Every structure is written in C-alpha cells, then in structure tokens.
Amino acid sequence: MLLIPCPFCGEREEIEFSYGGEAGVAYPADPSALTDEEWAGWLFVRGNPKGRFAERWVHTQGCRRWFSLLRDTVTHEIVR
C-alpha cells in the first residue's frame, strides 16, 4: 500500500485516496477549433510513462481536496 503525503493532512494510507490520472492536462481553450484527432487526443490519450509521472490524487476519505504528486511508475517512489 502506498503512503501518500496529502499536502493538507500529512501522510495517509492509499485507501483514503482516489486516483485522478495524469496531472496538468488543461481543458482546450477553444474546443470547437480542434480537429477530431485533436479532440480525441485530449479526451482519450494521456501520458503513460515508465518512470516519473506527474499525477492527480484526491483525499476522498479525508479533506477531499485534490493535489498533484510526482511518482515513479517503476519503483512506486513518491518523489514529491
């Protein structure tokens, strides 16, 4: 089980959290200007690196706030 450092509550067990996938994926500024390919890319395609990954978590069973982590997908080390 991961021990996840909630920036608001401190380190808590993974079961208190829900996963939100890749961090830093902004909603397109002008969605109607996108081609179908670009829209599909925003909607369905996310980074899936083997190594460090910036990702979103929410402290569902705690403060219910969202935050980002940098975690290694090979070692599971939480870098920050």
Partner 1 sequence: MSGEHPDFLWRSPEPESSYEVVIVGGGGHGLATAYYLAREHGITDIAVLERGWLAGGNITRNTTIIRSNYLWDESAAIYEHSLKLWEGLEQELGYDLLFSQRGVLNLAHSLHDVREGARRVNANRLNGIDAEWLEPDAVARVCPIVNLSPELRYPVLGATFQPRGGIARHENLAWGYARAADALGVDLIQGCEVTGIELERGRAVAVQTTRGRIAAGRIGLVAAGHSSVLAGLAGLRLPVQSHPLQALVSELYEQVLDTVVMSNAVHVYVSQAHKGELVMGAGIDAYNSYAQRGSFHVIEHQLAAALELFPIFAHARVLRTWAGIVDVCPDASPIVGLTPVEGLFVNCGWGTGGFKATPGSGWTFAWTIANGEPHELNAPFALDRFTSGALIDEHGAAGVAH
Q: Which residues bind partner 1 (CB under 8 A)?
A: 1-2, 13-15, 18-19, 21, 36-37, 39-41, 43-46, 48-50, 53, 55, 71, 73-76
Q: CB of residue 52 vs partner 1: minimum separation in angstroms?
A: 11
Identify residue 66 by its one-letter amino acid code.
W
Q: CB of residue 50 vs partner 1: minimum separation in angstroms?
A: 5
Between 40 and 79, CB nearer to partner 1: 40
Q: Which two tokens stand for residue 44?
A: 């369905």
H helix or E strand, kind and range, residue 22: strand 18-22
Q: CB of residue 66 vs partner 1: minimum separation in angstroms?
A: 15
CA distance 19 to 3: 13
Between 8 and 19, CB nearer to partner 1: 19
- Name the β-bridge partners of 48: none
CA distance 77 to 38: 33
